Amino acid sequence: MKPAVEKVQAAISGHGLDRRVIELAVHARTSQQAADALGVTVGQIVKSLVFTANGRPLLVAASGANRVDERRLAELAGGQIRRADPATVKQATGYTIGGVPPIGLASQLAIYVDRDLLGYDLVYAAAGLPECVFPIAPQELVRATGGTIVDIKEAGSDPKGGPA
């Protein structure tokens, strides 16, 4: 197991979760690729997206079916929102884009959890590398991240499948 994945597995265990990292047969750099590899809907994939609010990094754990409403995020975070560049993502989370998990992060970040994820019994989040994910119940995700549940999807997103 590679160090990034070991770190995520340690974070999973550290939160008292009985979950294991799954190595996919393919690199899943998109939510759809991950969903296809797992045989689940794209809505069950947790996208860990890093933004900055007035320069401070934050993380949104969004349903793979949804686009994040950046105006709504700006209201929630109280600042001007920008997508974080790859260097900021790596510094804030300890991981590179494509494998950022919602837990086991390098720094304490404000975390917003997409309410639509709560509609599933089980969701899947990145586990340090594009080919690794881990299953987690949405309420476990909220507890483990300390995240705030929010309505964050852009109008026109469909929580069960993809953009409408």
Asked whether residue 162 is domain-assigned, the answer is: no
Asked whether residue 48 is domain-assigned, the answer is: yes
Domain with residue 143: its CATH number is 3.90.960.10
pTM of the shown model: 0.91
20-39 pLDDT tens trace:
999 999 888 899 999 999 99
12 SS3 class: helix
Specify the number of domains making up the chain.
1
Domain ranges, residue 109 = 3-153
88-147 pLDDT tens trace:
999 999 999 999 999 999 999 999 999 999 999 999 999 999 999 999 999 999 999 999
Q: How far apart are CA 42 and CA 52, in angstroms?
A: 25
Report the b/e string of 109-129 with b at 16+ CB within 10 A: bbbbbbbbbbebeebbbbbbb
Residues 6 or more apart in contact with residue 2 via CB below 8 angstroms: 128, 129
